[in-house]
Amino acid sequence: MGIHSEFVSRLHAAPQRGVFAVTGGGGELLGELLSVGGASNTVLDARVPYAATALSELLGATPEQACSAETACAMAMAAYQHAIALDDSRRADLFGFGLTASLATTRIKRGAHRVHLALQTAGSTFHWHLSLERDARDRAGEEALLCVLALRCLGEGLTLPAKLDLDLTPHETVERQHIDAPTAWQEVLAGSLEATPVQGPDERPEVMFPGAFNPLHSGHLGMARLAEALAGKAVSFEICLNSVDKPPLNYLALERRATQFDASMSVWFSNRPTFLEKARTFPGVQFIVGIDTLVRIGDPHYYGDDVARRNDALHELADLGCSFLVFGRAADDGFTTLADCDLPEVLVALCQEVSQADFRDDASSSAIRIETDLPRPG
């Protein structure tokens, strides 16, 4: 039995089971796992979302880059959630493994050959990255190296020591990130806790600013300051693990986003993706939103294209005593305000608008990410 097969046999004998998602490479890894007896003890499912549409379907949203730390971690989280759907009786032993690679191919590539790998469990997120030296190997050689690296990562993340040598050049180094999440974060991910304070005062929020904050910028901070002045109450920032139209967040991403805020600021994590769910968890709260978010709240598309269901949700928001502080947003043809939008009357009645004269900041998280192009795990 070869050294790879010996490790895979030990992996199959371990209690952990999971779902694998690989794209751009990783075929040899799946072959290695499936070629050794007992694979059904480890592999609940394997996904190979090579097409861009397939990857978007797996993640629940279109990633900004196919081969990145963010995408690998999102793949691992999506795989982990799928593992729970397949075998919830053994949640403590479940994992999701994500791998996205950009390897040698028949067409010319401008970027570096690289691979990002991630492992998600109930309590931890791991991320590994390796940039491959150009022309050091052919495609088969890169796949072989990737297989060994992936097995080593599985061994590390699942605490199964793997004595597998990586044949790296002097210019190649595996970079690693890892976090063991606090219990409350784990409970939010598991759904046993709807929301938890992360830092700052832990009183129930009265004014809440939901967002991705990827990254936090001057516009967010300015909106919060004005909201506090208008309401006379502190603002709590809320980051949802599974926001609508976005890939699920992992613990590394949550940690990175929370540490952007000053320690005195109130920050919460939740698993409440829709505003109705947030309102049920935080009745009476005033939400800070941009006009684009408000338009989505009033869009029947987010209610299964059912206008009656949309209307019922908006009426329940009103019954729960919730309201919206609405900020306009720059658009190609000017600046969008409430007057420019066709919204249900019941929703408009819940809104207090901040005029462009009182506040305007055109900073954009997506533009900042493009400009900085920094690697990030989620």
Could you please report the per-residue DSSP string of 169-236? -TT---EEEEEEPPHHHHHHHHTSSSEEEEES--SPPSEEEE---TT--HHHHHHHHHHHHHHSS-EE
pLDDT of residue 333: 81
Q: Which residues contact 142 (CB under 8 A, 6 or more apart)?
A: 25, 101, 103, 104, 113, 132
pLDDT of residue 376: 57
DSSP secondary structure letter of residue 110: S
Strand 43-47 and strand 124-132: the pairing is: unpaired
Give 252: exposed, middle or buried? Use CB within 10 Å, 0-12, 13-18, 19+: buried
Condensed to tens digits (0 to 9), the pLDDT of residues 110-121 reads: 678 999 999 999
Please check the confidence at residue 351 and state whether its pLDDT lies above 90: yes
Prior bond to 201 cis, omega within 30? Answer: no
Q: How far apart, in whole angstroms, are the C-alpha atoms of residue 82 and residue 254?
A: 20
Condensed to tens digits (0 to 9), the pLDDT of residues 272-326 reads: 999 999 999 999 999 999 999 999 999 999 999 999 999 999 999 999 999 999 9
Per-residue pLDDT averaged across 146-169, rounded? 95
Please check the confidence at residue 374 and state whether its pLDDT lies above 70: no
Q: Model confidence at 245, in pLDDT bands (50, 70, 90)?
A: confident
The closest of 297, 291, 375 to 331, measured between CA atoms, is: 291
Q: Model confidence at 372, in pLDDT bands (50, 70, 90)?
A: confident
Give, in order, the Cα–Cα distances in Å from 33 to each of 22, 149, 159: 13, 14, 17
Lowest-confidence range among 185-189, 220-224, 242-246, 276-280?
Answer: 242-246
Residue ranges of the chain that CATH labels 3.90.950.20: 3-180
The closest of 109, 22, 101 to 68, measured between CA atoms, is: 101
pLDDT of residue 1: 52
Q: Model confidence at 371, in pLDDT bands (50, 70, 90)?
A: confident
Residue ranges of the chain that CATH labels 3.40.50: 194-372
Per-residue pLDDT averaged across 161-187, rounded? 96
Give 116: exposed, middle or buried? Use CB within 10 Å, 0-12, 13-18, 19+: buried
Q: How far apart, in whole angstroms, are the C-alpha atoms of residue 38 and residue 89?
A: 20
Condensed to tens digits (0 to 9), the pLDDT of residues 62-89 reads: 999 999 999 999 999 999 999 999 998 8
The mean pLDDT value of the chain amounts to 94
**Terminal alpha carbon distance of the chain:** 38
pLDDT of residue 3: 78
Condensed to tens digits (0 to 9), the pLDDT of residues 11-66 reads: 999 999 999 999 999 999 999 999 999 999 999 999 999 999 999 999 988 999 99
Stated as kind and residue range, the H or E segment containing 275 is helix 275-281
Q: How far apart, in whole angstroms, are the C-alpha atoms of residue 322 and residue 150?
A: 48
pLDDT of residue 221: 98
Q: Model confidence at 370, in pLDDT bands (50, 70, 90)?
A: confident
Per-residue pLDDT averaged across 194-221, rounded? 96
Per-residue pLDDT averaged across 331-359, rounded? 95
Q: Which residues contact 315 (CB under 8 A, 6 or more apart)?
A: 346
DSSP secondary structure letter of residue 7: H
Q: Give all strands of the β-sheet with 351-354 in edge-to-edge order.
A: 195-199, 266-270, 235-240, 207-210, 286-290, 323-327, 351-354
Q: 194-372: which CATH architecture?
A: 3-Layer(aba) Sandwich (3.40)
Please check the confidence at residue 161 and state whether its pLDDT lies above 60: yes
Stated as kind and residue range, the H or E segment containing 327 is strand 323-327
* Whether the Cβ atoms of residue 98 and residue 72 lie closer than 8 Å to each other: yes
Question: How many C-beta atoms lie closer than 10 Å to residue 118's C-beta?
Answer: 33
* Whether the Cβ atoms of residue 44 and residue 19 lie closer than 8 Å to each other: yes
CATH number of the domain located at residue range(s) 3-180 in this protein: 3.90.950.20
The closest of 244, 284, 254, 78 to 179, measured between CA atoms, is: 254
